[in-house]
Structure 1
Amino acid sequence: MAIAEKGAAVRRPAPVIPAPRRRSPWPALRHFVGFGLPGLLVYACFVLAPILLSVGYSFTNADQFKPHTRFIGFDNYVNLLTDDAFLTALKVTTILTLIVVIVPNVLGLAVALLLDRRGWLYNALRGVFFVPVVLSSVVVSVIWQAMLTDDGLINTTLRSLGVAHPPGWLSDPQLALYSIGFIISWQMLGFCAVVYLAGLQGVPQELHEAASIDGAGALLRFRKVTWPMLAPALTINTVMLLITGFKTYDHIQVLTNGGPGTGTTATLAFSVAQTGFTANRTGEASAMALIMLVIVAIVSTVALRFLQRREVHL
């Protein structure tokens, strides 16, 4: 037997590393079946299936009073893009959406700046401003309809102040659309204020203090410190208001029913409902709904990308 020399290194066997055990996919699959599959089925039944059915109907002359439905290709789309009523509804929707996007954003920011203080009074006012958001659109429309009629509270007050002929807020074709835009803006004001208020409370106080030490006034601090930090809040509010403006239906149905006159306040969503359920032209209504879906998707995506890019640059 050889005797190892003194100080010679002793070789030790290399440790045996066990091979990694392959994880079974069954636990993850069970979790998906238990939690994800029900939600996916609900989404497929109530979102994907109606969209696919609408796509199919849009290429037909489907009509509830015509039993024979046939394939007509893109005729519905071509007719809509040359139809004055549809183009008017698109114009009305665009104007209403611009009002709904701009007014609540501006006023919501102003309200948030006023309520960005501590105290029970400001906490109570936050709740007051948020109440219209949780109310139903139909309830809000009924309340404002009672106030804006010719003998309503607003015109009665104006007459008592000496105005002989108060405006017809909902009966004048020149004012009806702007009155509806004001009502929707009033309802969404609390939502915008809460989002902006959350953004204001996330602005580090040290930045304001540093700007004050450097000699920046209140307006300059808002422009250089507060407003850039509110970029995510602006993105959320703008996208939500865009979707709200484009899908407006309840307020139109309750307040004006598309009038006064012919289509002066008829939005795309209102026209889809009237064409599909009143005129029973299912194919045409489906094509109109898909055009509206594409417009909303494109506008929302462009706005979201632009605002998110602005957040990065800021």
Structure 2
Amino acid sequence: MEQSALTQLKERGAPPGVPRAAPAPQARRRRHVWPRVWHFLSFGAPGVLVYVCFVLAPIGISFWYSLTNYNPFNPPISYVGFDNYVLLFQDNEFLTALKITSILTAIVVVVPNVLGLGVALLLDRPGWLYNALRSVFFTPVILSSVVVSIIWSRLLDNDGPLNAFLRVVGLDPPGWLSDPDVAIYSLASIVCWQMLGFCVVVYLAGLQGVPTELLEAAEIDGAGPVRRFRAVTWPLLAPALTINTVVLLISAFKTYDYVKVITNGGPGAGATATIAFNVLATGFDANHVGYASAMAIVMLLIVAVVTAVVLKLLQRREVDL
């Protein structure tokens, strides 16, 4: 009888004041770990392995070399600690290269962003003509930087077509690539010309993602074109601005091929020599691999810190729709 009464109480629920019997403990199901590990190894490991082999491992090897006086033609290797880094910031050649790289990066980040936004606003219209113009502006992006450098070095040559045209109209052409005060700006203009199409395409993608309802609502409220751009379009282009700025920043800071082909670091004493140019010249021409590795590590740290700060600041402006 007692057993049947307890069974009925369990089925109907115990009345208030009567404690219920504690449920029988159930054995925890063990999560099978090995299928998840195998899943990761099957899909993630190849990518991680490639990243480790071609990114992390070279960085680690370069850092080790930067702590030595490694010269492949003058063994043995000696550990020098951070002497290369101390010497680096006392080297006028490196400090000049840092200044040149900073000027080049500032120009390349600002000019294509501004011009790219203007061109994108002009091309943000339907029609075959505007589609063709988009292709024209994007064509320089797919060209090799070496090809672009050769073309522009011919155009800006002292006897090139640009100087010939300036002489015809009665102007005295400057030394685009031979004047130390002008060469860095000529070089930056070439990089801006090639990167302009990339910025145009990214801004066009952002413009086509702006909801027409917001623009129509702003127009109904009496906002003019400038006001609509400032209040609606520009805030929604923040992700496009972030992408363009970060890509231009990284690309400009590691500029090497333009300098090598067009000016070879000149004219004069390193008037256009960037940090990347000095790294390869020191490591492969002078064979001071340890010192060049220290330059590369410093450049990596500068790019990483500046990119992280810029990315953090620009992401604050992004608007979630």
How many angstroms does 1:179 deviate by? 0.6
Equivalent position SS for 1:311: coil
The answer on 1:238 being equivalent to 2:245 is: yes
- Over aligned residue pairs, what C-alpha RMSD do you find? 2.4
Task: Give CA-to-partner distance per residue, 1:76-131, whole Å, 9 cap, x none.
Answer: 11111011000000000000000000000000000100010011111111111111
Q: How does 1:151-190 map to 2 (within 5 A)?
A: 151-163=159-171, 165-190=172-197
TM-score norm. by structure 2 comes to: 0.90
Distance change >3 Å, CA 56–CA 160, structure 1 → 2: same
The 1-side partners of 2:128 and 2:33 are apart by 54
How many angstroms does 1:135 deviate by? 1.1
The 1-side partners of 2:207 and 2:200 are apart by 10
CA contact (8 A) 2:238 2:319 kept: no
Letter in 2 for 1:153: P
Task: Give CA-to-partner distance per residue, 1:56-84, whole Å, 9 cap, x none.
Answer: 11111111232121111111111110110
The 2-side partners of 1:251 and 1:202 are apart by 35
The 1-side partners of 2:125 and 2:290 are apart by 54
The 1-side partners of 2:212 and 2:27 are apart by 54
How many angstroms does 1:311 deviate by? 2.2
Alignment-derived partner of residue 109 in structure 1:
117
The 2-side partners of 1:276 and 1:81 are apart by 17
* Equivalent of 2:294 in 284, 287, 292: 287
* Equivalent of 1:215 in 217, 222, 231: 222
The 2-side partners of 1:9 and 1:41 are apart by 62
Task: Give CA-to-partner distance per residue, 1:222-249, whole Å, 9 cap, x none.
Answer: 1111111111111111111110111000
The answer on 1:29 being equivalent to 2:37 is: yes
* Equivalent of 2:278 in 259, 263, 271: 271
Task: Give CA-to-partner distance per residue, 1:228-287, whole Å, 9 cap, x none.
Answer: 111111111111111011100010000000000110000000000000000100110010
Alignment-derived partner of residue 196 in structure 1:
203
In structure 1, stretches of 5+ residues that fail to align are 2-7
* Equivalent of 1:145 in 136, 144, 153: 153
Task: Give CA-to-partner distance per residue, 1:34-77, whole Å, 9 cap, x none.
Answer: 22212211111111111111111111111123212111111111
TM-score norm. by structure 1 comes to: 0.92
The 1-side partners of 2:51 and 2:240 are apart by 28
Alignment-derived partner of residue 206 in structure 1:
213
CA contact (8 A) 2:236 2:319 kept: no
Alignment-derived partner of residue 307 in structure 2:
300
Alignment-derived partner of residue 57 in structure 1:
65
Equivalent position SS for 1:221: helix
How many angstroms does 1:310 deviate by? 2.4
In structure 2, stretches of 5+ residues that fail to align are 2-7, 14-23
